[in-house]
Amino acid sequence: MEYDEVCKRLENDPELLAFVNHLLTENYELKKYCASLERQINQNSKNSIRPLREMYSNESPKNAKR
């Protein structure tokens, strides 16, 4: 399928557009999480690896008390 054809289908199908957007968003968050894990591993951090929900929540320990 050609790029222009895909764009035309997305323009004409709001449900498909929402689904594709959701997949891209999920992929982006997963890439950020993996990159963060890589940095932590490369730094030989003695701290435990924080869970994904903590890393991206507004209630993370870093931001909790300001």
Residue type, position 61, single letter: P
Q: What is the pLDDT of residue 56?
A: 57
Over the stretch 37-56, which tens digit does the pLDDT of each residue have? 888 877 765 555 555 555 55
pLDDT grade for 31, boundaries at 50, 70 and 90: confident
47 contact partners, CB below 8 Å, separation of at least 6: 40
CA atoms within 13 A on the CB side of 38: 6
pLDDT score at 2: 85
Name the pTM for this structure: 0.42
Distances (CA, A) of 11 to 18, 22, 45: 11, 16, 46
- Name residue, tokens 């507004």: 58
Q: How far is CA 34 from the centre of its chain?
A: 9
Structure confidence at residue 60 (pLDDT): 45
Domain ranges in the chain are 1-54
